[in-house]
Structure 1
Amino acid sequence: MKVDILAFGVHPDDVELGCAGTLIASVAAGKKVAVVDLTRGELGTRGTAETRKIEAANAAKVMGLYARENLGMADGFFEYNEDNIHKVIEVIRKYQPEIVLCNAPEDRHPDHGRSSKLVSDAAFLSGLRKIITTAAGVAQEAWRPKFVFHYIQDRYLKPDFVFDISAYHDQKIAAVLCYTTQFNTTDTSEPETYISNPDFLDTIKSRALLLGKRIGVKYAEGYISTKMLGITDFDAFIQETT
C-alpha cells in the first residue's frame, strides 16, 4: 500500500482546492498518490454526505489517485484527541508516504487549522515505535514521513515554496468541478454559499496566477513547511528552477 504522497483534507474538496494541481503533476511524473478525507462534509450547506462521497470518487478519477478513503470524523466537531490521532497514525502507517500534504495552519473555516495540527502531530507520533496500532489484527510498523507540507486555502498565507502546476491547472479545475453541489452552480433549490457562486472559481485561478508569477510560470500552488528545506547540489537546483 506504500505511496509517495499522502494528502489529507478535513472535508472532501479541500484537497482539490488546495493541492490538486500538485497531486496531478506528481501522478503524471509516475508518483503514487493517495488522499484521506477526515470527515464526510456532512455539515455543508449544499449537498449531503452521500453526494459528497460520489463527488469525491469522481474527483479521485480525474486526479488519477491510487486510493482515497474517509475516516468519518465529525464535521465541525471532530476533536484533537487520542482516538483521532490514532486514526491518522494508522493511515500514515498503512500508506507509508514520504510526503504528507495537509490543511492550512489557520484559515477561515476553523476545521482547517485543527485538522492541520492533528495531521502534522500524528505524522510525528507515527514514527514512535512504542505507539501501537494494528491493521487487520497485525501490528503496524512505525513510519514517519520525511516532510509535512501545508497547502494554502482561503486566507492568503505566505508560502515557503510553490509548485509549478501550469500544465495541470485545467485538470485541477476539472477535479474541483466534480463537486457539482458545491461549486459553479446556479441551482437555487438550496441556499447560495460563499463557494457556490461561479465567481468563486475566479479566486482559485487568481491565486494560482499570483503564485505562478512569483516563479515565472503561469500557475502554481503554495505550501508552508515547518521544517527547513535544504539542497545538496546547485546544478540540480538550477535545473529545477529554470
Structure 2
Amino acid sequence: MKLDILAIVAHPDDVELSFGGTLLAHQKQGYKTGILDLTKGELGTRGTPEIRAQEAKDAAEILQLSVRENLGLPDGFFENNKENQIKIAEQIRRFKPKLVITNAIYDRHPDHTRGAQLVETACFIAGLKAVKTAWDGEKQDAFRPDKLYFSIQSIAHEPDILVDISDVIEERRAAIHAFKSQFFDPNSKEPETFISSEGFMTMLDARSREWGHRIGVKYAEGFKVKHFLGVKSLFDLV
C-alpha cells in the first residue's frame, strides 16, 4: 500500500496529541495516511500496553487511517542505531510516503527527541541504493520521502508551518480522548502525570486556537522544518 503521509512517532498517542487533526484533514481531502508507532508505550505510568494498543486502534478508526502498525521497539530505551534505522527504512520503502511526519526536534521527553533523530536518519538511509532491505521476501527499491516535518509537542516551539484543522477539531478531540487511560479522570486511582493533569487538555485546545488565530482560522496544528519551503503560487498560502 502506498501512502501519501506516514507519521512515524515514538509512542501511541504522540500523533493524536500533536497532529492528529492534520492527518484527518488530509484524509478527507483524499490522501492516504498512516501511523507507525515505534514502541507500545509500555513504560507509561498509567494503563497497560494492552489497554494502550486498544486505544491506538480506536483512535486509528476515528482518524480514518489507511494503516496503523507498531514496530515494537523498547519504550524508553530504543537507540538511533543501524538496526533500528534499517527497520524504519523497510517501512518507508514499503509504504513509499510522499511526506513523513515525526516527533519534535527537541522536547521534554527524551524519546521524542531521539525518535525524531532516528526517523530523520532512517529517511536518509531509505534513499540509499547501497542499503539492501527486503519485505515479504522481496527486495526493496531505494526510496526517500519528498519532505520530513517535525511535530511540536510539550515544548511550544514557534511553528514554521500552520495547518488549518478547524473542520476536524471535534474528531481530533475524540481521537485524543480515545487514549482515556492517559488523561485526566477525577475517579482514577493511578498516579498523576504531566499529560493527565486537569489543565493539560485545556492547554492543547488553547494552543490550537492561538495558532489558528495567527492564520485567520479557528484551529491549527504546527510543525517545524529543517529545509526551505517553496510554493509555485503565492495563492497556495492560507
Q: TM-score range by the shorter chain?
A: over 0.9
Partner of 1:153: 153
1:48-69 deviations in whole A, cap 9, x for unaligned? 1111100000000000000000
Give % identity.
45
Give the corresponding residue for 2:186.
186
Partner of 1:78: 78
* AA at the equivalent of 1:192: E
Corresponding residue pairs, total: 238
Root mean square deviation of aligned Cα: 0.9
Per-residue deviation, 1:169 = 1.2
Q: Offset of 1:159 from its aligned partner?
A: 1.0
Alignment match, 1:61: 61
Check if 1:210 corresponds to 2:210.
Answer: yes
Q: TM (normalized to structure 2)?
A: 0.98
Q: What amino acid is the match of 1:182?
A: Q
| C-alpha distance in 2 between matches for 1:53 and 1:200 | 22
CA displacement, residues 117-158 of structure 1 (integer Å, 9 cap, x when unaligned): 100111111111110010011111111000000010000111
Q: Provide the TM-score with structure 1 as the length reference.
A: 0.96
On the 8 A contact 1:177/1:184 being kept in 2, the answer is no
User: What is the CA deviation profile of residues 56-90 of structure 1, one whole-angstrom value per residue up to 9, with x for unaligned ones?
Assistant: 00000000000000000010111111000011101
2:225 equivalent in structure 1: 225
**1:154-173 residue pairs with structure 2 within 5 A?**
154-173=154-173
Instruction: Classify the secondary structure of the residue corresponding to 2:37.
Output: strand
Ranges in structure 2 where 5+ consecutive residues have no aligned partner: none
Aligned pairs for 1:100-119 (under 5 A) are 100-119=100-119
The runs of 4+ residues in structure 1 deviating greater than 4 Å are none
Distance in 2 between the 1:67 and 1:185 partners? Answer: 30
Structure 1 residue 4, shift from structure 2 partner: 0.3
How many Å separate the matches in 1 of 2:86 and 2:117?
14
Q: Distance in 1 between matches of 2:143 and 2:186?
A: 45
SS at match of 1:45: coil
